[in-house]
Amino acid sequence: MAERIVLLPGDGIGPEVTEQARRVLVAAGAKVGLEFDFVEESIGGCSIDAYGTPLRDEVVEACRSSRAVLLGAVGGPKWDDLPVDIRPEKGLLGIRKALGLFANLRPATVLPALVDASALRPEIVEGVDMLVVRELTGGIYFGEPRGRSGERGNRSATNAMAYDEHEIERITRVAFEQARLRRRHVTHVHKANVLDVSQLWVEVVDEVARDYPDVELAHQLVDSCAMLLVQEPRRFDVIVTGNLFGDILSDEAAMITGSLGMLPSASLAVGGFGLFEPVHGSAPDIAGKDLANPLAAIQSVAMLLETSFGAKEAAGSIRRAVAAVLDAGHRSGDLLLPGETRETVGCRRMGELVLEALDRA
Ligand code: NAD
């Protein structure tokens, strides 16, 4: 039976990269007996243009009755002057909320062929392969009370960081399960020397860890983690942390790889249902020109196969195909180093090269 996947290509380069990712998903899935039935829907600016809203209820319903969602990107200058409530980004926040996507997974891997793309020295970043697991629906971004009060000269503002043990436990379990698929090491990042919330995290993470005796656990203060990420990034396997620290550290980890066009992500709900998307935005400056790098979207479908279908081998075959294409010297424009003059390939061609490499495998 065909597995239903909702495609939300979105705006800018979203449709271009999603199309290449879809083709790779079909090819890699076929090799392990998976067949897909794609339903394409609108989100973000294109949905505003067609329906007057960035996210329709029908789209949420379609996602709920699917096995997984593949999203491109949303937004662009065309919609920048709209009121905040009907901006494209509202569609993204809306779908994350409606689907209860509490766990954000952001791998940061330095491929041998791209080791020079990092701002850090090659000998530091060579072999980096980590996964940041960020709690996405709680913590200080949502805590109550919040707000501002007072007049000029007497103004104050409040945000509250609050977590209950259920929220901490479920994200910690995601991290430990992911660690079992990797090098079996979890680093919990916190600020327990000053925050009560972090002290609860340490307690609950320790309790969950007892169910995973095969996975090693370390607790790390967020400030020293920020330093270690640039000093010794190879030491990290899975990092688990709350919303605020995760927001900052996942971007720091991403930048160690140096290439925005390469980074995939997954956001998971209870039960493992997932939405998969590249980390980059809609890149309006290159949209519609066949210049986008589809590899972040393509690596997002590798995560989809692994997470939603347990198809680890199919995911691995995509990652190996991507590495082979880069090892053979092919680059999209965003992957060129300053001063480098080699010929580049466009979005469609990059997708074809991955398909060819998959075929050869
Ligand atoms: P961006 O990620 O779209 O682009 C930043 C730079 O990286 C641009 O120069 C762009 O050309 C380049 N780039 C990004 N992805 C690329 C790819 N796959 N291949 C080649 N080059 C790539 O970020 P931005 O410019 O800050 O934002 C543009 C729009 O995207 C805004 O409307 C923003 O709100 C939106 N945005 C959406 C998401 C999302 O949908 N998840 C995330 C970030 C930004």
The DSSP letter of residue 286 is: T
Q: Is 22 exposed, middle or buried (0-12, 13-18, 19+ CB in 10 A)?
A: buried
The whole-number average pLDDT for the span 36-43 is 98
Q: What is the pLDDT of residue 346?
A: 98
Higher pLDDT, 69 or 272: 69
Q: Which residues line ligand 1 (CB under 6 A)?
A: 13, 17, 73-76, 89, 92, 260-261, 280-286, 292-293, 296, 332, 334
Q: CB atoms < 10 A from the CB of 298, how many?
A: 30
Answer yes or no: is pLDDT of 5 > 90. yes
Please state, rounded to an integer, the average pLDDT across all residues of the chain: 96
Query: Is the model's pLDDT at 7 over the cut of 90?
Result: yes
User: Mean per-residue pLDDT for 52-74?
Assistant: 97
Atom of ligand 1 nearest to the CA of 296: 18
Provide mean pLDDT across the span 227-250.
97
- Tens of pLDDT, residues 308-343: 999 999 999 999 999 999 999 999 999 998 888 899
Band of the pLDDT at 126, cuts 50, 70, 90?
A: very high
> What does the pLDDT look like over 162-172, one tens digit per residue?
999 999 999 99
Residue 280 CA to ligand 1 centre (angstroms): 5
pLDDT band at 212 (very low <50, low <70, confident <90, very high): very high
pLDDT band per the 50, 70, 90 thresholds, residue 258? confident
Average pLDDT in the 201-214 region? 98
- Provide the 10 A C-beta neighbour count for residue 167: 19
339: tokens are: 């001063």
Tell me, what's the pLDDT at 353?
A: 98
212 in catalytic set: no
How far does residue 282's CA lie from ligand 1's centre (Å)? Answer: 5
- Among 342, 330, 346, CA closest to 111: 330
Choice from 260, 285, 291, 344 to test ligand 1 binding pocket (greatest atom count within 8 A of CB): 260
What's the confidence (pLDDT) of residue 140? 95
What pLDDT is recorded for position 84? Answer: 82
pLDDT at position 244, please? Answer: 97
Question: Quick check: 361 pLDDT over 90?
Answer: no
Tell me the average pLDDT across 130-151.
95
251 has catalytic annotation = yes
pLDDT for 268 equals 97
Q: 324 C-alpha to center of ligand 1: Å?
A: 26
Q: What percent of the chain shows pLDDT beyond 90? A: 92
CA 247-87-74 angle, to 5 degrees, is 60
List where CATH 3.40.718.10 sits in the chain.
Answer: 1-125+259-361, 129-256
Give the pLDDT confidence score for residue 338 in this predicted structure: 86
CATH fold of the domain at 129-256: Isopropylmalate Dehydrogenase (3.40.718)
Task: Give the per-residue pLDDT at 105.
Answer: 98
Summarize the confidence of residues 216-237 as an average pLDDT.
Answer: 98
Q: In the prediction, which pLDDT does 169 show?
A: 98
Task: Confirm if 326 and 293 have CB atoms less than 8 A apart.
Answer: no
- Mean pLDDT for the stretch of residues 339-355: 95
Give pLDDT, residue 272: 87
Residues 252-263 have a mean pLDDT of 90
Please answer whether residues 55 and 99 qualify as being in contact, where contact means their C-beta atoms are separated by less than 8 angstroms. no
pTM: 0.94
Q: Which two tokens stand for residue 119?
A: 């701002």
Pick the closest to residue 186 from 137, 239, 224 (CA basis).
239
Q: What is the mean pLDDT of residues 95-100?
A: 94
263-307 pLDDT, tens digit per residue, is 999 999 998 899 999 999 999 999 999 999 999 999 999 999 999
CATH no. for 1-125+259-361: 3.40.718.10
CA atoms within 13 A on the CB side of 44: 23
Rounded Cα gap, residues 56 and 63, in angstroms: 11
Residue 1 has what pLDDT? 86
For the segment 207-219, the average pLDDT, to the nearest whole number, is 98
